[in-house]
Amino acid sequence: MQTLTVVITGAAGRIAYALIPLVCSGMVFGNETRVNLRLLDVNFAADKLQGVAMEVEDCNYPLLEKCIATLSADEAFHDADVAVLLGGFPRLQGMERKDLITKNAEGIREQSRTMDRVSKTTIKVCVVANPANTNCLVAMKFAPSIPPENFTCLTRLDEERLRGFVLQKTRENKLAGVCAKDIKDLSIWGNHSATQVPFIDCGYIETPGSRVQVSELYSSEVERKELTSQVQNRGAAIIKMQQASSGLSAANAIANHLADWLNPNVSTDKIFSMGILSTGNPYGIADGLVYSFPLRRCAGGVEIVPDINISAHVREMLAASEAELQGERQDAESLVGDLTIATRARL
Ligand SMILES: NC(=O)c1ccc[n+]([C@@H]2O[C@H](COP(=O)([O-])OP(=O)(O)OC[C@H]3O[C@@H](n4cnc5c(N)ncnc54)[C@H](O)[C@@H]3O)[C@@H](O)[C@H]2O)c1
């Protein structure tokens, strides 16, 4: 049985509380992988972090080898295999992700420098703290000994929200017996923000004896626009109701993101969304951004699904999200310096 050392930052927070059980119960890395858990937070949350660690002890998860709760990034990231970066100031009602750049970019830079020094160079990093795409770019930049392809950001929550709305639509259209898992190959392009582009044109619904393209359920432009707006605004709607950003669904999406990316036993034939470095992408998105694309597994990693037909209207939306990310990059550069990604080997 292998053991993976998994770091969760912001471990005293809401998402971590829902994520820890998923990581320790085999849902992410499978039932044949043990987990060595490192929970990191900041001084301010020290007592809460200790309380979470005490609860983890009381759970006696069969796959959990060891759990360390710490305020030291060096201790947390030492020899780590996987890191989920949740630590940061959350988006509150009325805030856009770009308001968070000033709050979170410097914290991410410091953690990234630590990873560069003390983690395995093979570490895989999922950035969740907002603004997730731009924070991911910052993390990549300040850990130059770790390959850029080892850094991704979470847009899977947006994909799952899209799946949820499509599921509702199947019910309105009286398509019998459809479950969420039957709705495949949906994707999110661009930024994890209100400019994100929920994309249904590759999507299909497969039940025994039937296959329906998702686009058939959205025959008018009005319906498509409504779907886009519902997905783009779902996060804000949840914040309004709960006075806090999504916790349970974010944790679930992180588990799916990590499993589809890293668990070799998970099915390889589907499309899923993650933010990755845009450099060299086949859709003409500017290099040097962390942009969400439809991905699939390939030998040795993941690849952007090529040759997808994109309408002029969707192209405009992709460009708007790209422009927003270019603006975020500039804002972040004014705080942490140039974010051009160049790799070098660790000495
Ligand atoms: N990408 C997405 O889809 C998505 C979805 C939901 C939430 N988020 C983001 O995820 C992050 C976590 O959300 P949450 O609801 O758990 O927030 P939360 O406020 O409940 O928890 C955040 C935790 O991070 C800690 N923290 C702050 N700075 C830190 C640092 N430098 N190092 C380590 N820990 C630090 C805080 O003490 C707190 O315990 C937020 O930035 C939120 O906006 C992203």
Percentage of the chain exceeding pLDDT 70: 96
Tokens 């779902």 locate to: 234
Q: Quote the pLDDT of residue 266.
A: 85
User: Do 164 and 181 touch, CB atoms closer than 8 A?
Assistant: no
Q: How far is the CA of 91 from the centre of ligand 1 (A)?
A: 9
- Please report the beta strands in 106-262, taking only residues with DSSP state E, as ranges in sequence order: 124-127, 151-153, 183-184, 187-189, 197-199, 204-207, 210-213
pLDDT at 245: 86
Rounded distance between C-alpha atoms, residue 286 and residue 205, angstroms: 32
- What is the model's pLDDT at position 264? 87
Point out the ligand 1 atom lying closest to the alpha carbon of residue 156: 3
Mutate to test the pocket of ligand 1, among 49, 86, 125, 160 (most ligand atoms within 8 A of CB): 86
Provide the residue type at 77 as one letter: F
For 198-229, the pLDDT digits (tens) are 999 999 999 998 999 999 999 899 999 999 99
- Distance (Å, whole) CA 292 – CA 344: 25
Banded pLDDT at 191 (limits 50, 70, 90) = very high
Q: Is the CB of 38 under 6 A from ligand 1?
A: no
| pLDDT of 347 strictly over 50 | no
Judge contact between 234 and 168, C-beta under 8 A. Answer: no
Residue 118: C-alpha distances to residues 39, 68, 155 (Å): 16, 16, 27
**At a CB cut-off of 8 Å and minimum separation 6, what does 192 contact?**
97, 130, 131, 132, 133, 153, 154, 155, 157, 158, 275, 292
Percent of the chain's residues with pLDDT above 90? 86
- Which tens digit of pLDDT belongs to each residue from 245-275? 899 999 999 999 999 999 988 877 899 999 9
Indicate whether residue 134 lines ligand 1 (CB < 6 A).
no
DSSP assignment, residue 310? Answer: -
> What is the mean predicted confidence (pLDDT) over 56-67?
97
User: Rounded to whole angstroms, how far apart are CA atoms 121 and 130?
Assistant: 24
Q: What is the mean pLDDT of residues 105-114?
A: 95
- Measuring from atom 26 of ligand 1, which residue has the nearest CA? 87
For residue 181, report the distance from its CA to the centre of ligand 1, in Å: 28
Residue 41 has pLDDT above 80, yes or no: yes
CA gap 252, 250 in Å, rounded: 5
pLDDT value, residue 306: 96
Element (H or E) spanning 296, and its range? Answer: strand 290-298
Spatial separation of the C-alpha atoms in residues 345 and 347, rounded to whole Å: 6
**CA 87 to CA 111: how far, in whole Å?**
10
pLDDT mean across residues, the chain: 94
Find out whether the beta carbon of 131 lies less than 6 Å from any atom of ligand 1.
no
Record the pTM.
Answer: 0.96
Statement: residue 343 has pLDDT above 70:
no
Long-range own/partner contacts, residues 41-45 (CB < 8 A, 24 or more apart)? 41/9, 41/10, 41/11, 41/12, 41/13, 41/69, 41/71, 41/87, 42/71, 42/87, 43/71, 45/12, 45/13
CA atoms within 13 A on the CB side of 42: 12
- Residue 88 beta carbon below 6 angstroms from any ligand 1 atom: yes
Ligand 1 atom index nearest CA of 155: 3
Known catalytic residue at 192: yes
Specify whether the CB–CB gap between 294 and 302 falls below 8 A. Answer: no
Mean pLDDT of 172-194: 93
Give the single-character DSSP code of 25: T
Ligand 1 atom nearest residue 127's Cα: 1
Which residue is closest in CA terms to ligand 1's atom 20? 13
Average of per-residue pLDDT across 55-68: 97
Weakest-pLDDT range from 12-26, 58-72, 91-105: 91-105
